[in-house]
Amino acid sequence: MPRSLPETDVVIVGMGAAGGVAALPLTNAGLKVVGLEAGGWLNPRDFAPDELRNNDRNWPQTIQKAASEAPTVRANPSETAVQGGHPMMNAVGGTSMHYWAQSWRLNPWDFKVVSSTLARYGRGRIPEDSTVEDWPISYEDLEPFYDKVEYTVGVSGRAGNVQGVINSAGNIFEGQRRREYPMQPLRSSPFTDLMSSAAAKMDWHPFQGPAAITTEVYDGRPPCQYHGFCNKGGCHIQAKSSTAFSTIPKAIDTGNLDIVTFARVTEIRTDVSGKVTGVEYLKGNEIFFQPAQVVLIASYAYENVRLLLLSKSSAFPNGLANNSDQVGKHYMSHHQGSPVAALFPEDLHNWYGLPAQGVALDDWADDNFDHSGLEFIGGANLWVHTDRKPIGAAKMDTFGEAPSWGKDWKAFIARNADRSNTSYIQKTTLPYLNNYLDLDPSVKDSIGLPVTRITARYRENELRIADFAQDKMEEWYRAAGATHVLRFGLGNAMGATTHAYGGTRMGDSPDTNVADRWGFCHEAPNLGILGASLMGTSGSRNPTLTVQALAWRTAEHLVSNWRSRTA
């Protein structure tokens, strides 16, 4: 029998980017919160600038819970899914420890894909087998929460639209924001200057992207020192605004947050009426039951879905909040693949760059351009950044100019180590019938529970965007003086990714959505969901800030509706 613990107001499953944000408004309002985290505490002394350890060997996520339950993947329902890796990590702060820290707001179009497309292009432009819906909320509804997160977590950037005033140094395509970013953007570099001026010459609109990285002393944390080891490495000076260094310490300071580390949540319990009563978790080899008035699940998209499907009861025989068979549906992974790489005739000065220090182009994203003559909707955000490290440089493609080893190879990499660059192109992905998450019928995790199975592939719309975006990216590189450009494959199966969406979609109709417009389950009103599993469209940019804004909004809703949510 599990050991039953004293009841708490709220349990949050996962103290990462989402749970770590939601904890703050809850604890500020005086609610007692228990945060269950599958990982442990890390601190800046752990974040060595060590490319082999961080990037090649994937420290520290390789040995963690997430890795032991990595999803299986297949493109089509007729195939047997194969287990791959898991890109996320467990820790207090979660993947906000080692992410790139790009902190975008979605564009207004992303919230209203169906109605906007219909209004601008008429019927027939949404792919027939897509299950896409408008979000139940608009950009304007989320704007106050984007603002709160940007200021509380600490995001640097340049606004492109403050209350209708357009600044071409920022993203002119963004939705209207109430005020400027709290900090100026990360500095430019010789490479970003080169790319920016090439884009400007083509009358495109380059700008420096937003990052959850400090550029001045902010909230007691020092500014970024540009040592460049953000990618899969945490920040040794806490300049990266991980929730572990921003919202979580503040929530702990209220005295209302207790974090339990290395807690592996295995089930959410419900009573016969279908009300959620708490969660069961394993710590060491002991099982605990943590009763709570409200449960918020804030693990990653794959794990949110899995936890619901594993939590079967008499009220929910097919998994919690799944009586309408919507858990796991409307899954999308961002189409982050199919990059373009370029070789330049001069050094790019990228040895001390970071993945969030770069130049973005939104000209070809979302509905920022006319799709009348095109056979797709949506688009891509083009991103070039300055991250360059020696092992990665030595493993670069040789662009057909040298063999892969020996004297000539050595001469090639010695000359070109700082002369190549690979773009990061994030593309709109739509949800489709037959793209979904469920439990794998045979593959189990280390404690014998089935892992998540991904069944998903990119469709024509995604592949056409990829092709189109690669054309634009190639044009941009060539305009900046690249002598060689390589385009990589467009992809097929949607493997496990750091940008996974859907599975517990948010929407007004309980027939097609797991969560309501506030992020609480239609079928279980005291069960809330945090994370990109709520999102019904992918956008064409990193999801974390949207996830955090939604988490803050859900938490505020809970505070103001405590009585009805816990009735």
Enumerate residues 272-311 that contact another protein by CB under 8 A.
283, 286, 288
What radius of gyration do the chain's Cα atoms show?
23
Least distance from another protein to the Cβ atom of residue 37, Å: 9
Least distance from another protein to the Cβ atom of residue 424, Å: 20
Please give the Cα distance from 517 to 374 (Å, whole number).
33
Region 189-208 residues binding another protein, contact defined as CB under 8 A: 189-190
Least distance from another protein to the Cβ atom of residue 51, Å: 7
- What values do phi and psi take at 147, rounded to 5? -60, -45
Cβ closest to another protein, residue 200 vs residue 217: 217
Region 6-25 residues binding another protein, contact defined as CB under 8 A: 6
**Would you give the binding string for another protein spanning residues 53-72, x where CB under 8 A is met?**
x--xx---------------
Region 393-432 residues binding another protein, contact defined as CB under 8 A: 393-395, 404-407, 409-411, 413-414, 417-418
**Would you give the binding string for another protein spanning residues 34-53, x where CB under 8 A is met?**
x-----xx-xxxxxxxxxxx
Which residue in the set 162, 202, 252, 449 belongs to the binding site for another protein (CB under 8 A)? 252
Which residue in the set 226, 289, 488, 562 belongs to the binding site for another protein (CB under 8 A)? 226
Least distance from another protein to the Cβ atom of residue 407, Å: 5
DSSP for 80-121, written as a single string: PPEE-------BTTGGGTTS--B-PPPPHHHH-HHHHHHHHH
Q: Where are the beta strands (DSSP E) in 413-483?
A: 420-422, 424-427, 436-444, 450-455
**Would you give the binding string for another protein spanning residues 85-104, x where CB under 8 A is met?**
-------x------------
Does 84 participate in binding another protein (rule CB under 8 A)?
Answer: no
Cβ closest to another protein, residue 5 vs residue 29: 5
Angle at 129 between CA 123 and CA 130, to 5 degrees: 75
Please give the Cα distance from 483 to 259 (Å, whole number).
53
Least distance from another protein to the Cβ atom of residue 7, Å: 10
Token output for 539: 């956008």
Cβ closest to another protein, residue 389 vs residue 565: 389
Please give the Cα distance from 56 to 503 (Å, whole number).
30
Q: Is 356 within 8 Å of 186 (Cβ atoms)?
A: yes
Neighbours of 181 (CB within 10 A): 22
Burial (CB count within 10 angstroms: exposed 0-12, middle 13-18, buried 19+), residue 223: middle
Distances (CA, A) of 42 to 142, 218, 238, 261, 498: 31, 21, 12, 11, 20
Number of residues located near another protein, criterion CB under 8 A: 72
Region 150-189 residues binding another protein, contact defined as CB under 8 A: 187, 189
Region 381-400 residues binding another protein, contact defined as CB under 8 A: 390-391, 393-395
SS3 for 197-222, per residue? Answer: HHHHHCCCCEEECCECECCCCECCEC
Least distance from another protein to the Cβ atom of residue 18, Å: 19
